[in-house]
Amino acid sequence: MWGSHSGCGGFAGRLVGPYGVYHDYLTNAVHGPKPVFRPSSPDDQPRIAEFLSRIFRVPLSHPTIRRDMMHWKYWQPGPAWDGSRSYVLERDGAILAHGAVWPIEMLPGTDNLTAVALIDWAADPASAGAGIALTTRIFQLAEAVIVIGGSEEALRMRAAMGFRPRNRIEMMARPLRPFRQIADDPKWTWKTPARLARNLAWSLWPLSEPSPGWTSVPADPASLLGHLAKCPAATSAFRHVLKDGRPAGWYFLIFVPGQARIAACALSTPFENQWLPLYRLAIEDAGASNEIIALASNTRQHDALAACGFRMRRTEQILVYDPRGRIPADAHLELQLMHSDDAFAHGETPSYLT
* pLDDT tens for each residue of 163-207: 999 999 999 999 999 999 999 887 788 899 999 999 999 999 998
The yes-or-no verdict on residue 241 having pLDDT over 90 is yes
The yes-or-no verdict on residue 293 having pLDDT over 90 is yes
The yes-or-no verdict on residue 12 having pLDDT over 90 is no
The yes-or-no verdict on residue 107 having pLDDT over 80 is no
Please state the domain extents for the chain: 15-162, 170-343
Angle at Cα 150 formed by Cα 203 and Cα 39, nearest 5°? Answer: 110
State how far the alpha carbon of 135 is from the alpha carbons of 89, 157, 256, 278, 309, in Å: 10, 12, 29, 38, 39
pLDDT of residue 319: 93
Q: pLDDT exceeding 90 applies to what percent of the chain?
A: 73
pLDDT band at 25 (very low <50, low <70, confident <90, very high): low
Q: How many CA atoms lie within 13 A of 33 on its CB side?
A: 10
Average pLDDT rounded to a whole number, residues 234-241: 98
The yes-or-no verdict on residue 15 having pLDDT over 60 is no
Partnered with residue 252 across adjacent β-strands are 238, 264
Average pLDDT rounded to a whole number, residues 206-224: 90
pLDDT of residue 148: 87
Here the contacts of 251-255 (C-beta below 8 Å, separation 24 or greater) are 251/216, 251/278, 251/281, 251/282, 252/221, 252/225, 252/228, 252/338, 253/282, 253/285, 253/286, 254/228, 254/337, 254/343, 254/344, 255/287, 255/289
Per mean pLDDT, which range of 19-28, 214-223, 316-325 is the poorest? Answer: 19-28
Partnered with residue 314 across adjacent β-strands are 171
pLDDT band at 297 (very low <50, low <70, confident <90, very high): very high
The radius of gyration of the chain from alpha carbons, rounded to an integer in Å, stands at: 21
Average pLDDT rounded to a whole number, residues 316-329: 91
Mean pLDDT of the chain: 88
CB atoms < 10 A from the CB of 308, how many? Answer: 23
How far from the centroid of its chain's Cα atoms is residue 76's Cα?
A: 18
pLDDT of residue 119: 95
State how far the alpha carbon of 311 is from the alpha carbons of 13, 85, 171, 318, in Å: 43, 34, 8, 20
What CATH class does 15-162 carry? Answer: alpha beta
pLDDT of residue 156: 82
Asked if 236 and 338 count as a contact pair (C-beta separation under 8 A), the reply is no
pLDDT of residue 111: 67
| Domain 170-343: which CATH number of 3.40.630, 1.10.357, 3.40.50, 3.30.110 | 3.40.630
The yes-or-no verdict on residue 9 having pLDDT over 90 is no
Asked if 276 and 304 count as a contact pair (C-beta separation under 8 A), the reply is yes
Kindly give the interhelix angle for 152-161 and 130-139, rounded to the nearest 10 degrees.
50
Range list of β-strands (E), 268-326: 291-296, 311-321
The yes-or-no verdict on residue 87 having pLDDT over 70 is yes
CA distance 117 to 110: 16
Closest CA to 340 of 48, 2, 40: 2
